[in-house]
Amino acid sequence: MTNDTPLVLDSVWLGANVATMKDGRYSAIENAAIGVAGGRIVWLGKAENLPAYQAQEEHNLDGGWITPGLIDCHTHLVFGGNRAGEFEQRLNGVSYQDIAKQGGGIASSVKATREDSEEELVRSATRRLKSLMADGVTTVEIKSGYGLSLESELKMLRVATTLGNENPVTIKRTCLAAHAMPPEYDDKDTYIDFLCDTVLPEVARLGMADAVDAFCEGIAFSTEQVARYFKTAASLGLPVKIHAEQLSSLGGTRMASSFKALSADHIEFIEEEDVIAMAESGTVAVLLPGAFFTLKETQRPPIDLLRQHGVPMAIATDANPGTSPALSLRLMMNMGCTLFGLTPEETLAGATIHAAKALGMSDTHGTLEIGKVADFVCWDVESPGELSYWLGGNLVKNRVHLGKELQGE
């Protein structure tokens, strides 16, 4: 291409400021222009420096700020029924133990998820997914884990696949079969054997998951049991993630770091040796303030230690029917500031560049740079810090996924 040859674009976006989030900072470009072709960013800079171009579409945004599309890197969006009734029971004084004896808790979600058809699960999960999308999310991780049988886990993963095929959003699927004990098992080691011998090999054979997750906690599975599960995942070429140190310190985060886990999530009870292990392995800390808030926890994750050792911190909704019925990633960003002491810049990085790393997507997502996927949002705000400031409200002016503007969300 000579200097006289115009830049050929599918679309160009003008008239707004851009927070690229490169290196986890706002890295602002005022009065910017973004050129898109083939679903990728091919030009980015100040509008005054934009070369001659030909574009099929030209968008003048008339102010606001553009950020990378938000990435919700930890959700349980697919499930049958809901547990709003249990929420009301608890507020009327019924204990968790009594609810469990009545068949409530995760057991009720497993029962409802097993009973629902794929079509019913797609329909209910789509409603929740659209709420996230309307709030500026362009990529969502969805976990299984309410099936706890080969048939039902595969059903959940198929539903997650369908959601990605039918909606303008990127879906990453995670097999969380080691989430809890199914009702037909009474021995945890036997269930882990079943997962290693049957479930994970079949999930891998069918290409149904992008990663494998486990709940390592006293009420779930031990460090040794999860390590066995992760060894099988690694042998099948599947990266791992972990729910760890949410309620106690068991060493799950250190163990997961030895497998170079993509992320360790919750981590309220991690200690400095865990943080050092995460820093050395490149494991992302995924903070989940929605569960912290809903469960009225008091042990905050050690933010200063994570900062000190340079561990990237992501923020996610943990959207689930029991402990975090959250459908706004921006609200979680606010909670990251108000409950955990993060800065607005850190929470935006947590929902973009660090969330992308937590999903193994850093090469293509999470920042606005030439060559990366054209997923971005133009917000009706005067500064990017407002995204963590406002509690609710519709701040999205334009949502772009793979270079295409989405209307009517």
| Binding residue ranges for Fe(3+) | 74, 76, 243, 318
DSSP state, 283? P
Q: What is the identity of the amino acid at 125?
A: A
Nearest Cα residue to 262 out of 330, 369, 174: 174
Contacts with 34 (C-beta within 8 Å, 6 or more apart), sequence order: 12, 13, 18, 41, 43, 44, 66, 368, 374, 376
Q: Which residues are annotated as a binding site for 4-imidazolone-5-propanoate?
A: 83, 146, 179, 246, 323
- Residue 62 and residue 68 in contact, taking contact as beta carbons nearer than 8 Å: no
The CA–CA distances, whole Å, from 94 to 90, 97, 105, 400 equal 5, 8, 13, 45
Q: Which residues are annotated as a binding site for Zn(2+)?
A: 74, 76, 243, 318
The two beta strands, 404-406 and 70-72, are unpaired
Nearest Cα residue to 221 out of 178, 258, 251, 169: 178
Contacts with 380 (C-beta within 8 Å, 6 or more apart), sequence order: 63, 64, 395, 396, 397
Report the alpha-carbon distance of residue 94 to residue 88 in Å, rounded: 9
Report the alpha-carbon distance of residue 254 to residue 369 in Å, rounded: 33
- Residue 86 and residue 104 in contact, taking contact as beta carbons nearer than 8 Å: yes
Residue 172 sits at φ, ψ, to 5 deg, of: -110, 130
Concatenate the DSSP letters of all residues of 175-229 into one string: EEEETS--TT---HHHHHHHIIIIIHHHHHHHT--SEEEEEESTTSB-HHHHHHH
Q: Which residues are annotated as a binding site for N-formimidoyl-L-glutamate?
A: 146, 320, 322
Q: Which residues are annotated as a binding site?
A: 74, 76, 83, 146, 179, 243, 246, 318, 320, 322-323
> Could you tell me if residue 81 is left (phi over 0), alpha (psi between -120 and 50 degrees) or otherwise beta?
left
- Residue 186 and residue 150 in contact, taking contact as beta carbons nearer than 8 Å: no
